[in-house]
Structure 1
Amino acid sequence: MDALNPRALFPAPAPAGSRPTIGVLALQGDVREHALALQAAGARPVTVRRARDLGDAPGQRLDGIVLPGGESTTMSTLLTGFGMLEPLRALLRAGLPAYGSCAGMILLADRALGLEEGQATVGGIDMTVRRNAFGRQVDSYEEDLDAPALGASASRPLHAVFIRAPWVESVGADVEVLATTRAGRAGEGQGGAGGRIVAVRQGPLLATSFHPEVGGESRVHDVFVAMVTHRA
């Protein structure tokens, strides 16, 4: 099985000295929760608060980066204000693996609907996402997903927590769909029945609408650390 495919799940734990260094963008959002999940998955998490924390090339300071959930407009504003937007774009173009959850998914989208005026994305995944598609804060909810590509099964479903979450409207030919909501169970507030795309991968970039770091779901971080480890 191709080691770069997210179906290559759960590799043997890496020796402590060879753990990949994965940054967590620490401008807003679930930074601590992502760091703990990365550590449990065998990585060495570090916080990224300034442009110099990114390094100039993949592998110089970071082997990968996580863009956490939060408020996508605020995160875009802070990335621009701290001079991090263009360096991050350059690193992703150069092949730095990245995982974005919720607002992080919006940041990784090439196209996004419902953005505020002037709101920028980092881009990298050939997809169109809709901001706040599942509704407002009061519409937050949890459900088990159809996600066999992430190791989900009838006996061990992948449980997802959605908080003011986006969904994916459409993807390009090179984007792999990893998870969808279950038809008839989700999206009742702003889009009808379920079956919405909520996890994707394109090359070294991974994105989810939901928050695995909040729900205690380890498999998404296991997949991302495996992607980073096999790419390093």
Structure 2
Amino acid sequence: MTDAPVPHLGVLAVQGDVREHRAALEASGARTTAVRRPAELAAVDGLVLPGGESTTIDKLTRIFDLRDPLRARIAQGMPVYGSCAGMILLADRILDGHREQQTLGGMDITVRRNAFGRQVDSYECDLPIAGIAGGPVRAIFIRAPWVEECGERVEVLAAVEAKGESHPVVVRQGNLLATSFHPEVTGDHRVHALFVEMVRSAT
């Protein structure tokens, strides 16, 4: 009997929690690379788009000549996980975005930037997530987006009640996974383990 293959995953390393995501992925059985150049992107089996400032990440992907290669790999079916700003980057549509802000796209969702409010409105909760065993995941929302609308192919894995309505905060569409929150900062690697298994299944 052979061991399961070790996926080679990249973390987009132009801004955000790169080190924390790499540590969580490696604890979940992957080897990792910081991705700043197209050649590094071409070598990985899957990619994490970390949190940070979505407009800044958008600009930097263009400066580093990564935007078109990223869009091409996503269109080809490469597994991608986006957390917080990464969710915004994966969305096909943005509400409250800056005028020139662009996304990489791929997920048939509409997201609202800073939906929960400013930094002072950041909060934590215990969040049950479909497909993740072992009880709720501690979710930390920091200037987080939420999903306003989903297409038919999008699975809502978790939602929260906020401002009198239920809003999706964990969504999946095929090989694409996105969360509004930052699992890389809690020490609970179950979201990353789910993504690693998605990559194994895809490769």
- TM tier relative to shorter chain: over 0.9
Please say if residues 99 and 206 of structure 1, whose CA atoms lie closer than 8 Å, have aligned partners that are also in contact.
yes
Which residue of 1 is the match for residue 152 of structure 2? 173
Q: Which residue of 1 aligns with 2:29?
A: 42
How far off its partner does 1:52 sit?
2.1
Q: What is the CA RMSD across the aligned residues, in angstroms? A: 1.4
Partners of 1:141 and 1:47 lie apart in 2 by 29
Rounded Cα–Cα distance in structure 2 between residues aligned with 1:14 and 1:163: 38
Counterpart of 1:145 (choices 103, 123, 127) is 127
Partner-residue secondary structure (3-state), 2:32: strand
1:71 aligned partner: 53
TM-score, with structure 1 as normaliser? 0.84
User: By how many angstroms is 1:14 displaced?
Assistant: 4.9
Partners of 2:187 and 2:123 in 1: CA distance: 15
Cα deviation for residue 194 of structure 1 reads 5.0
TM-score after normalising by structure 2:
0.95
Q: By percentage of residues, which structure has more strand?
A: 2
For 1:147 and 1:37, locate their aligned partners in 2 and report how far apart those are by CA, in whole Å: 18
Given that residues 79 and 85 in structure 1 are in contact (C-alpha distance below 8 angstroms), is that contact kept between their aligned partners in structure 2?
yes
Alignment deviations for residues 182-214 of structure 1 (CA, whole Å, 9 cap, x no partner): x3xxx3xxxx12521000000000000000001
* Counterparts of 1:193 and 1:214, CA distance in 2: 28
Counterpart of 2:198? 227
- 1-structure distance, mates of 2:182, 2:196: 16
Tell me, in whole angstroms, the C-alpha distance in 1 between the residues paired with 2:196 and 2:150: 23
Unpaired runs of at least 5, structure 1: 1-12, 56-60
Shift of 1:49: 0.9
SS of match in other structure, 1:128: strand
Q: Which residue of 42, 45, 54 corresponds with 2:41?
A: 54
Q: CA deviation at 1:146?
A: 3.4
Q: Which residue of 2 aligns with 1:122?
A: 104
Q: Which consecutive unaligned segments of at least 5 residues does structure 2 have?
A: none
Give the paired residue count: 202
How many Å separate the matches in 2 of 1:166 and 1:135?
9
| 2:187 match | 216
Counterpart-to-counterpart distance in 2, 1:145 and 1:194: 16
Contact 1:110 1:124 in 2 (8 A): yes
Q: Which residue of 2 aligns with 1:7?
A: none
Match of 1:162 among 131, 138, 141: 141
2:131 match: secondary structure = helix
Q: CA deviation at 1:135?
A: 0.6
CA shift for structure 1 position 217: 2.2
The secondary structure found in structure 2 opposite 1:150 is coil
